[in-house]
Amino acid sequence: MTYNAELFDRAAAQYDESPPFFRILGARLVDFANLPVASSVLDIGAGKGAVTLPALAAVGPSGTVTALEVAGQMVEFLETYSLPNLSVIHQDITKSTLPDASVDHAVSGFTLHILSDLRGALIQIHRILRGYGTLSWSKPGAHPEAIEWEESYGNIFGEFSKRLKDVPSEMTDEPDYESTFRAEGFEIIEQFTVPLRIPVGGPEEYWAWTQTHGARWLTDQLNTSDADEFKSAVIESLWSSHPTHGNDIMVAPLFTKMRRI
C-alpha cells in the first residue's frame, strides 16, 4: 500500500467534515473547469467527492464522472453515493488501467501535488484523455494577508520534520510543474488564485482541522511528546502571528487548467 493510501485511510472518517473546506473549493474548481454538459470526466484522487459531486451536476444526466481513488476508506465513502452516472474505481492513478482515450476531461482537487510520481500520473492522464481534453487541478497556496504566519508555520513544520528518520518525498519535494507538465504533453491554458477565509473559531479548532487531512502526516509520524510539542508550537504561532489569531483558515489555492497537446 502506498504512503498516501495509508495516510488518507487514517484521515477518512474526519476528512472534510468540519469545516467543509474541500467541498467549498471542489465546487469552485468545477466552476473554473467549465466542464461541458454531457461530457465524460475523470476525478483523480476523489476523496469523499468534493469535486466529484459538483462535476456530476455540471455534466448533467447524460454525462459521466469516474471517481478514481487510492485509499480504500475513501472509496467506501464514495460508493455510498450510488448514482447512475458515477463510477467509483479503487486505483492508484500512476498504475491506472482505464482505457486509452476514454474520457473527455479530468479534474483533480488537492491531489497532484502530493503524488510521489507526478510524471507517472501524467503519463496515465495523457493516455486516458481524448484529443485536446483538459485537466483542471488545484494545489495549496498562501493567502497574501497571512504570509508571515505561513512562514512561521513552515519553519515549525521544517524543524519538527527534522526529528524524523524518513520524510516521504511527496511531502517535501516541489517539482517545476510547468516543465514537468510540458514534458508529458500538457500546456497551461489558464491559472487562477482563490483567496479564501473560512471561520473556525480559534487556534484549537484550527489545529484540529489541520489533523483531518493530509497535513496530519507529520503528527502521525512524531512520537507522542514531539507531537504534543508540535501542537503547542503551532497553536502559539496562530495566537502570535496569524492575522485573525486562528479564527479563520486563510488560504489562496492555485487552480490550473491544462490542455492535452
Ligand X SMILES: C[S@@+](CC[C@H](N)C(=O)[O-])C[C@H]1O[C@@H](n2cnc3c(N)ncnc32)[C@H](O)[C@@H]1O
Binding site residues, ligand X, CB under 6 A: 4, 8, 16, 22, 26, 45-47, 50-51, 68-71, 74, 92-94, 109-111, 114-115, 213-214
Query: Of 203 and 214, which CB lies nearer to ligand X in the complex structure?
Result: 214
* Residue 236 Cβ vs ligand X, minimum distance, rounded to whole Å: 26
Which segments of 118-199 are extended strands (E)?
134-139, 186-193, 196-199
* Residue 203 Cβ vs ligand X, minimum distance, rounded to whole Å: 22
* Residue 28 Cβ vs ligand X, minimum distance, rounded to whole Å: 11
* Residue 232 Cβ vs ligand X, minimum distance, rounded to whole Å: 25
- Residue 182 DSSP one-character state: H
Query: Of 208 and 233, which CB lies nearer to ligand X in the complex structure?
Result: 208
* Residue 186 Cβ vs ligand X, minimum distance, rounded to whole Å: 18
Q: Which three cell numbers stand for residue 208?
A: 484540529
CA distance 192 to 255: 5
Output the CA torsion sign for 8, 197, 188, 106.
positive
Output the CA torsion sign for 9, 11, 16, 22.
negative
Size of the chain in residues: 261
Query: Of 120 and 243, which CB lies nearer to ligand X in the complex structure?
Result: 120
* Residue 2 Cβ vs ligand X, minimum distance, rounded to whole Å: 6
DSSP secondary structure string for all residues of 48-110: TTTTHHHHHHHH-TTSEEEEEES-HHHHHHHHTT--TTEEEEE--GGG--PPTT-BSEEEEES
* Residue 72 Cβ vs ligand X, minimum distance, rounded to whole Å: 9
CA 128 to chain centroid: 20
* CA atoms in the 13 A half-sphere facing the CB of 240: 9
CA distance 206 to 250: 10
Query: Of 1 and 183, which CB lies nearer to ligand X in the complex structure?
Result: 1
Query: Of 26 and 63, which CB lies nearer to ligand X in the complex structure?
Result: 26
Query: Of 39 and 111, which CB lies nearer to ligand X in the complex structure?
Result: 111
What is the SS3 assignment for 23? helix
- 257, containing H or E segment: strand 254-260
Query: Of 89 and 233, which CB lies nearer to ligand X in the complex structure?
Result: 89
